[in-house]
Amino acid sequence: MRTICLVLSLLAAVPASAAELQVFAAASLTDALKEIAPEYEKATGDKLVLNLGASSTLARQIQEGAPADLFLSADEAKMDGLEKRKLLLAGTRKSVLSNTLVVVVPVDSNLKIAGPADLVAVRALALAEPQTVPAGIYAKEYLKSKGLWSKVIDRVVPTENVRAALAAVESGNVDAGIVYKTDAGISKKVRIAYEVPKAESPNISYPFAVLAGSERKEAARKLLHYLHSPPALAVFRKYGFLILE
């Protein structure tokens, strides 16, 4: 009798489902997610494993069968790719956040960027890989819209993801870089030389979704819902993300 009570109480103490969720997220969301995750873990008992990188790399990994529960992408195209392959859980896709493009320079640099045309004079310009990574694609779109892409292309140093572009600017090995405002915000080693006005910027949006292959769909949905909710959005806003309504 006593043994049964003991076992029952032990079972009651253990949460109904302590899920471990694999969250594949765009690199630009790193700091915000690292702040949101512990709070969520404490509240729900679920464990979040963050796989951060370029959305293009992550999408590729998901296509190849990597075990992801959530995908937080920095552009619609990567999510479209997965949707076309029927890898998304129907009804869960929603675009939540937006961002701003900025030109950053090393904090001790004297470089003046009054407008995008000044980028032509720069010797080395770091961008996230403009063929695949959202941040790079956005930057290329922007420069193309200004008629500057062909003039600037020779100086472009493509990097693996947007944080790598930021790091390149921090190291001083490039003269400038185009990253998200949220990235510039977390670094003390760069300063914003120019902010791209919203009107001139391409549409930046971050779609979030649960993946069809997730083995913990309930827990994943719960997390997704949380990421749309006010407490999470407040954190995103704090880091400089724009909230899409």
Partner 1 sequence: MMSSEEWQILGLTVRTAGLATLLILPPGLLLAWLLARTRWRGKSLVETLVALPLVMPPVATGLILLKAFGRRGPIGHFLHDTLGLDVVFTWRAVVLAMAVMAFPLLVRSARVAFEGVPHRLEQIARTLGAREGRVFFTITLPLAARGILGGTLLAFARALGEFGATILVAGNIPGRTTTLSLAIYQLVQLGQDEDAFRLLAVSVAVAFAAVWLSEWFLRGRA
Site of interaction with partner 1 (CB under 8 A): 56-57, 60, 63, 123-124, 129, 131-132, 156-159, 168, 171-174
Least distance in angstroms from the C-beta of 126 to partner 1 = 8
Cβ nearer to partner 1, comparing 47 with 189 = 189
Measure the N-to-C terminal CA separation of the chain; round to a whole number of Å.
57
Cβ nearer to partner 1, comparing 81 with 202 = 81
List of E strands, the chain:
20-26, 47-53, 70-72, 94-98, 101-106, 125-128, 156-159, 176-180, 190-195, 206-210, 242-243
Q: Are 128 and 162 in contact (CB under 8 A)?
A: yes
Cβ nearer to partner 1, comparing 171 with 229 = 171
Least distance in angstroms from the C-beta of 77 to partner 1 = 12
Strand 101-106 vs strand 94-98: parallel, antiparallel, or unpaired? Answer: unpaired
Least distance in angstroms from the C-beta of 154 to partner 1 = 8
Separation between Cα atoms, residue 114 and residue 118, nearest integer Å:
7
Q: Which two tokens stand for residue 115?
A: 């407008």
Least distance in angstroms from the C-beta of 181 to partner 1 = 24
Cβ nearer to partner 1, comparing 17 with 173 = 173
